[in-house]
Amino acid sequence: MIVLSGTIGAGKTSLATLLAEHLGSQAYYESVDDNPILPLFYENPQKYGFLLQNYFLNKRLENIKDAQGSRLNVIDRSIFEDQLLFQLNADLERATQTESEIYRDLLHNMMEQVDTSEHAVVKNPDLLIYVKVSFETMLSRIQKRGRSFEQIDQDPSLFEYYQELTKRYTAWFDQYSASPKLMIDGDTLDFVEHPGDLEQVFQLIDNEIKLLKVED
């Protein structure tokens, strides 16, 4: 199981689609366009933040379960990022610290491997891929894809949120230890617009997968 991570606009969904096609596997996506809570959260994060995080938690666990149907399936968002995102909301007073603590404990309990039978769902990925992009690249892609509730001109407070999010992702990836990991430079390698860059990304990932097979 391969899981992608990265800030808003990093290209996770696009890479998940392309990578699954390259590997002959299946991609599983974060619920965004059909998410009934996300627009409400952007309108009133204090009211809907905790509900949104629990919605995402449920969907991510469903994706993890479904992705284990065959090898090399790809999930376009890591469940391990959610605490980072919700803690940031709490620190910016878009949620409460109590809500963040409850969510952290809930996530920890749900990620524990309780069932040790051969049919247990393994929740840690075999490989986590972090697509790292700069703050400027993130803003450009958010504007380009045009979701109204993500735009800074609709909500100027998002500028601080996006800026802080970029900083925290670097520290989060450095500390991540639940599985092997790989960083892709999304500023240098524009795998969506340039086929040559995409081939370089595939080569990096293929090499990492070969190492995992050797370890197995």
Query: Catalytic residue numbers?
Result: 76
Distance between CA atoms of 135 and 160, rounded to whole angstroms?
Answer: 11
Distance separating the N- and C-terminal Cα atoms of the chain: 14
166 appears as a binding residue in the annotation: no
82 appears as a binding residue in the annotation: yes
Q: Which of 129, 14, 153, 32 is nearest to 162 (CA)?
A: 153
38 appears as a binding residue in the annotation: no
6 appears as a binding residue in the annotation: yes
137 appears as a binding residue in the annotation: no
53 appears as a binding residue in the annotation: yes
191 appears as a binding residue in the annotation: yes
Task: List the structure tokens of 10.
Answer: 């990093």
150 appears as a binding residue in the annotation: yes
Distance between CA atoms of 12 and 123, rounded to whole angstroms?
Answer: 19
42 appears as a binding residue in the annotation: yes
60 appears as a binding residue in the annotation: no
Q: Which of 74, 96, 100 is nearest to 85 (CA)?
A: 100
- Residue 82, CA distances (Å) to 19, 213, 214 in order: 23, 29, 31
CB-based contacts of 181, cutoff 8 Å, min separation 6:
127, 128, 129, 130, 173
CB-based contacts of 70, cutoff 8 Å, min separation 6:
25, 26
Residue positions in the annotated binding site?
Answer: 6-14, 30, 42, 53, 77, 82, 141-145, 150, 189-191
Residue positions in the annotated binding site for ATP?
Answer: 6-14, 141-145, 189-191
Residue positions in the annotated binding site for substrate?
Answer: 30, 42, 53, 77, 82, 150
